[in-house]
Chains A and B, each alone.
Chain A
Amino acid sequence: MKNKPTKKKMSKAAFREHCYGLAFVAPPFIGFLVFMAFPILFAFTASLTSWNGMNNMLDHFVGLKNYVKLLGDEKFWRVLQHTIIYMIGIPIGMILGIIIAMGMNRKIKGVKILRTMYYIPVISSLVAVAILWSWVFNYDFGLLNIIIKALTGQHGPNWLGNEFWVKISMILFMTWKGLGTAIILYLSGLQGIPRDYYEAARIDGASGWNLFKSITWPLVSPVTFYLLITGLIGGFQVFVEVLVMLPTGGINYSAATVVFYLYDNFAANRYGYASAMAFLLAIIIFIITAINFKGQDKWVKTID
């Protein structure tokens, strides 16, 4: 019995299929090894060195020093804080998204055109719209302040030039850019809810808010979950919008994000330090995603 191979030997035909199967997935797998797996290992190794791109990386091993330095780096904590503040846009987008999607789900004629309008910012080039908004936010002749002046007679805030308002500006911009996605996804979630769920609840005397609370919201929870996960993963990586709108990171670095700070270090040839930051970021993202997946049983429902 002992000598019996644990796996049955493959038949000739099955072996052929095995080989072809592997060959067909080889390109993405090789791409994964070369452009993902190897760089990840490389970045981890680099994060343990004081490498600057010119010196020999492996000769400058410093152990966990970069990580220790990072935890004591006041600037890092500040940019992390900014990054998290920007994530206020995630629940705002969800709330607006579900409200608008519910309106659109009423099957009103002409609503498709509106859907398209809400979605346009999503497919627009980030650089182009960030440029546009940096002008919209302009203190002297930006669209926002022109409108505020016309409506109230007073001069609006210095959107991008003030440590507080710059955060509001970024949240506003990101919500605008991403709202279309939330709407489309919630709408398709709503369309999957069987009508008789509502009918049955109405017979039991449930009213508007209760219908939403006990039927709609739980049943679109997979969408909320998806928006939360992708929002967090993307939110931790916010960079280009800041770079375009505030190339120096804003007054006193007040708009800079983690990746912005990382990029600054990379540009200054502090490769080891930047790699440590990148790795810490990946760990944060991994832990938060894992917590979310663990916790999803508690609130994410599926229809069946």
Chain B
Amino acid sequence: MAKDKDLATSPVKTKKEKRIDIIVFVLLSIGAVAMVFPLVYMVCASFMTKGQILSGEFSLIPNPVKMGTYADVIFKSNFLRGVRNTMIVEVPVLVIGGFTSSLAAFSFSKLRFKGKDKIFLGLLSTMMIPFAVIMIPQYVMFTRWGMTDGLLPLILPGLFGNVGMIFFLRQNLSSIPYEFVEAAKIDGCGYFKMYYSIFFPLMKGAVMTQIILWFMGIWNDYLAPTIFVSNDKWHTMQVVIRQFNSQYAVNSNYPLIMTASVLALIPTLLLFFFFQRYIIESMAISGVKG
């Protein structure tokens, strides 16, 4: 009986099922279009003139098409400086923080040492702590250390690693048998060498995915930069965008504001399109197994 059933569940769909599929697809498409519609409108608006938007008549097509806003935002504002500042944070954090995180994940997963589980749980529990709690003390710390004039408050904490990344990589390594470690030990391989010549290559894909997600996290971060960095010169991308908004919303210069927002979205969107499969996979893993 069971066998017959298995045969019956072949992927061939009945006519009725196909009809349902079409209806479902249409409904899903309507929803999807509604989801991206504000973003599409944003892109269209960035090519419009201020007059067209303020006319209050709905239109997706810019008339006339104005390309100049992009040049204005990129070259006549703090935009590029914001991008530069964000990148100054990204590079050291991702390189060094990626290294410390993957090394720690290797250790948590494959080495035997006292207090391992306690340390890991301690790190993990910090994910529950609201940023609001540590915000004020960190602000005071960074002020005392004289760092609020630059980007160090955004770089320094990241260098020590990222709990989410450690957790994910540890999960990733758990599927690799312990025999790898034993074999390496017999060959007289040192622990650091074990990390970089055996385990790092094995988790390279997962590391890359996590680095991409972390990149997006830093790129999109607004709260920490706005609290910890007092000097305008060092404002990051998101802070610059927000200032654009408060500066130009007064005179309703929406094309300018939307252009800046579009530019802020492009890097993360591109990364997402290229690495979609990995990003969604890792999101799903953290949700289902986490």
Instruction: Check A196/B5 contact, CB under 8 A, given A131-B257, A289-B128.
Output: yes
Chain A CB within 8 A of B36 CB: yes
Are A32's CB and B126's CB within 8 A? yes
Are B129's CB and A143's CB within 8 A? no
Query: With A and B bound together, what is the CA distance between A209 and B106 in angstroms?
Result: 46
Query: With A and B bound together, what is the CA distance between A207 and B233 in angstroms?
Result: 64
Are A132's CB and B38's CB within 8 A? yes
Chain A CB within 8 A of B66 CB: no
Are B24's CB and A106's CB within 8 A? yes
Query: With A and B bound together, what is the CA distance between A106 and B24 in angstroms?
Result: 9
Interface string of B261-285 (1 = CB under 8 A from A): 1101100110011001001100110
The A-contacting residues of B in range 237-256, CB under 8 angstroms, are: 238, 241-242, 245-246, 249, 254
Shortest beta-carbon distance from A48 to chain B in Å: 14
Are B39's CB and A124's CB within 8 A? yes
Instruction: Check A185/B287 contact, CB under 8 A, given A32-B122, A135-B257, A237-B132.
Output: yes
Shortest beta-carbon distance from A185 to chain B in Å: 4
Are B128's CB and A131's CB within 8 A? no
Are A27's CB and B134's CB within 8 A? no
- Taking CB atoms, residues of chain A closer than 8 Å to B258 are 132, 135
Are A31's CB and B35's CB within 8 A? no
- Taking CB atoms, residues of chain A closer than 8 Å to B103 are 24, 27
Are A31's CB and B157's CB within 8 A? yes
Shortest beta-carbon distance from A16 to chain B in Å: 8
Query: With A and B bound together, what is the CA distance between A278 and B130 in angstroms?
Result: 8
Query: With A and B bound together, what is the CA distance between A172 and B159 in angstroms?
Result: 37
Are A28's CB and B123's CB within 8 A? yes
Chain A CB within 8 A of B234 CB: no
The 8 Å CB contact of A244, one of B54, B140, B245, is B245
Instruction: Check A266/B112 contact, CB under 8 A, given A117-B36, A185-B284.
Output: no
- Taking CB atoms, residues of chain A closer than 8 Å to B219 are 125
Are A184's CB and B126's CB within 8 A? no
Shortest beta-carbon distance from A192 to chain B in Å: 7
The 8 Å CB contact of A199, one of B9, B20, B107, is B9
The A-contacting residues of B in range 47-71, CB under 8 angstroms, are: 53-58
Chain A CB within 8 A of B137 CB: yes
Interface size on B (CB < 8 Å)?
A: 98
Query: With A and B bound together, what is the CA distance between A39 and B268 in angstroms?
Result: 31
Nearest-CB residue, chain B, relative to A18: B113
Instruction: Check A25/B104 contact, CB under 8 A, given A35-B157, A117-B32, A141-B53.
Output: yes
Q: Which residue of A13, A111, A117, A203 has the most chain B CB atoms within 10 A of its CB atom? A: A117
- Taking CB atoms, residues of chain A closer than 8 Å to B28 are 100, 103-104, 111, 114
Are A222's CB and B288's CB within 8 A? yes
Stretch at the interface among B73-81, B160-168, B171-179, B202-210: B160-168
Are B241's CB and A27's CB within 8 A? no
Are A39's CB and B269's CB within 8 A? no
- Taking CB atoms, residues of chain B closer than 8 Å to A262 are 132
- Taking CB atoms, residues of chain A closer than 8 Å to B159 are 27, 31
Query: With A and B bound together, what is the CA distance between A29 and B116 in angstroms?
Result: 11
- Taking CB atoms, residues of chain A closer than 8 Å to B132 are 237, 239, 259, 262-263, 277-278, 281-282
Chain A CB within 8 A of B230 CB: no
Are B238's CB and A127's CB within 8 A? yes
Instruction: Check A278/B161 contact, CB under 8 A, given A25-B108, A140-B56.
Output: no
- Taking CB atoms, residues of chain A closer than 8 Å to B27 are 103
Chain B CB within 8 A of A63 CB: no
Are A247's CB and B246's CB within 8 A? yes
Are A128's CB and B133's CB within 8 A? no
Query: With A and B bound together, what is the CA distance between A133 and B231 in angstroms?
Result: 28
Shortest beta-carbon distance from B217 to chain A in Å: 10
- Taking CB atoms, residues of chain A closer than 8 Å to B222 are 125-127, 240
Query: With A and B bound together, what is the CA distance between A100 and B27 in angstroms?
Result: 9
Instruction: Check A188/B157 contact, CB under 8 A, given A24-B103, A100-B31, A271-B136.
Output: no
- Taking CB atoms, residues of chain A closer than 8 Å to B198 are none
Interface residues of A (CB under 8 A from B): 13-14, 16-22, 24-25, 27-32, 34-36, 38-40, 42-43, 46, 53, 100, 103-104, 106-108, 110-111, 113-121, 123-129, 131-136, 140-141, 143, 146-147, 150, 176, 179-181, 184-185, 187-189, 192, 195-196, 199, 203, 222-223, 226-227, 233, 236-237, 239-240, 244, 247, 259, 262-263, 266, 271, 274-275, 277-279, 281-282, 285-286, 289
Q: What are some 8 contacts across the A-B interface (CB < 8 A)?
A: A21-B107, A106-B24, A116-B272, A119-B272, A121-B35, A134-B249, A222-B288, A247-B246
10 nearest A-B residue pairs (beta carbon)? A31-B160, A21-B113, A39-B137, A24-B107, A188-B284, A21-B111, A28-B161, A185-B287, A128-B261, A117-B32
